[in-house]
Amino acid sequence: MIENKIVTSLLLCGNKQKSELLFLKSLKKLQKVSKKTSSQLIALSIVNIMPLLKLQKKTNRKTKKKHIKIFPILIQFKLIRINNAIKSVFRFRKKPNKTNFLDKFTSEIFLYLKKDSTDIKFKKENQKQGIIKKRFLFYYK
């Protein structure tokens, strides 16, 4: 299930064969470097990135000054959390090159496993902001 979502998020210009090839090569590269299976590594990294809260911005345009309220939204469904985690994994790529993608993808997965990635720090900051602004959570469900 996760593999299919990763392949579909890798799609560029409707070329599914290339995205599958890139994904399989990256799985092989992960398998060579570590002792665990590549599917376990990817599942653990996605669990580490998976967000619980999403910060939503709402502007009040009725007054002359714009008031922007930031409030947290609890992401209830697991599939939406997984989709958000997979999207954050592939933020590093703009144009997929085979050599760059393989190196970057494996390095990102290992950073997620060590919990040293910038995406994990961003997730923790969002969690802190959500806890600070949790009083707004009850108003905007």
Taken in order of first residue, the domains within the chain and their CATH numbers are 2-6+28-136 (1.10.455.10)
Q: Look at residue 135 and tell me whether its pLDDT is greater than 70.
A: no
Average of pLDDT values for 23-39? 85
pTM value is: 0.68
Query: pLDDT averaged over the chain?
Result: 77
Average of pLDDT values for 46-75? 75
Quote the pLDDT of residue 13.
61
Residue 93 pLDDT level (bands cut at 50, 70, 90): low
Residue 49 pLDDT level (bands cut at 50, 70, 90): confident
Quote the pLDDT of residue 132.
75
Determine whether 7 is exposed, middle or buried from the number of CB atoms within 10 Å of its CB (0-12, 13-18, 19+): middle
Q: Look at residue 40 and tell me whether its pLDDT is greater than 80.
A: yes
